Amino acid sequence: MTATTVDGPIGAAVAEGTLPGRVWMYANYHCNIACTYCLTESGPRAEARVLGAQAMLDVARQAAELGFTDLGVTGGEIFLRPEMPELLAEMSTYLPVIALTNATLFARRLLDRIEVLAGLPVALQISLDRPDPDTNDAMRAPDNFAKVVAAIPELVTRGIAVRIATTVSSIDDVELDRLCALHRGLGVPDTDHVIRPIVARGRAVDHGLGVSAAVSDLPAELTITADGAFWSPFGPTVHGGLLDTDLLITRTTAPLAVPAQALLRLVEGQPRGADSTLGIR
């Protein structure tokens, strides 16, 4: 295989905007809560599907070498892995990291350990869907709202960059205004608040939630999991306990150039397969 570097085709594609700059990793699939719209059917009894720490560091290093610009880490609840604060810190030596968390595990001990991220290019993106406990917790978990609004100021005070992610089918202006007032009061400005739709994959399907998302609807963000490389972080979803493969790119994830080049080939609309006309079945 031809070695690819930041000056190679992947780096060029990222620089010209053909490929998104962020590489995502699914650190794990298990979670301490089970949201009704969860893409991955995560929960306490979900299969962990852990992407090993060394594998994550290798992805981070190779992503930088290839010319990607950012890293994303998601799950599952990533802080169920005790090594996560130090792992995120080390990953950020390669590229800036955004890490998704439900922020319900930030008891004193974890808060102390997460101080290692202060001042580093690591942002924690915390889920907060509604400005009221009842409506927020109905789709997430009991006491979720209380834990989140308690954790955010603790993190901000410690110098940890925090973003808020609101995942909803719809939200009216009044409720959104109250939600924004809430996150501002917690120390998170509007520029660090994202609102995204529920996608009809995973557990959301069983609850009749979300919008359908075809491959053309999803940015081609390379996403690495223990099961392979996918088109988007919305790709490696789980439904009925089975991993969805419709957005699978390759099972090979190392070296990262393999799925990155396959992704670029797909983005450029040049998949192979003309030999299928040979009738070899």
The single-letter code of the amino acid at 175 is E
For the CB of residue 244, give the shortest distance to other proteins in the complex, in Å. Answer: 6
For the CB of residue 267, give the shortest distance to other proteins in the complex, in Å. Answer: 10
Dihedral angle over CA of 193, 31, 85, 127, nearest 10: 10
User: 108 vs 272, which CB is nearer to other proteins?
Assistant: 272
User: 83 vs 246, which CB is nearer to other proteins?
Assistant: 246
User: 111 vs 248, which CB is nearer to other proteins?
Assistant: 248
User: 131 vs 259, which CB is nearer to other proteins?
Assistant: 259
For the CB of residue 214, give the shortest distance to other proteins in the complex, in Å. Answer: 11
For the CB of residue 131, give the shortest distance to other proteins in the complex, in Å. Answer: 37
Do 192 and 166 touch, CB atoms closer than 8 A? no
For the CB of residue 246, give the shortest distance to other proteins in the complex, in Å. Answer: 5
User: 108 vs 281, which CB is nearer to other proteins?
Assistant: 281
**SS3 for the chain, per residue?**
CCCCCCCCHHHHHHHCCCCCCEEEEECCCCCCCCCCCCCCCCCCCCCCCCCCHHHHHHHHHHHHHHCCCEEEEECCCHHHCCCHHHHHHHHCCCCCEEEEECCCCCCHHHHHHHHHHCCCCEEEEEECCCCCHHHHHHCCCCCHHHHHHHHHHHHHHCCCEEEEEEEECCCCHHHHHHHHHHHHHCCCCHHHEEEEECECCCHHHHCCCCECCCHHHCCCCCEEECCEEECCCCCCCEECCEECCCCEEECCCCCCHHHHHHHHHHHCCCCCCHHHHHCCC
User: 156 vs 258, which CB is nearer to other proteins?
Assistant: 258
User: 55 vs 258, which CB is nearer to other proteins?
Assistant: 258
Q: Which residues bind other proteins (CB under 8 A)?
A: 47, 49, 215, 227, 231, 242-252, 258, 262, 266, 271-276, 278-281
For the CB of residue 4, give the shortest distance to other proteins in the complex, in Å. Answer: 16
For the CB of residue 273, give the shortest distance to other proteins in the complex, in Å. Answer: 3
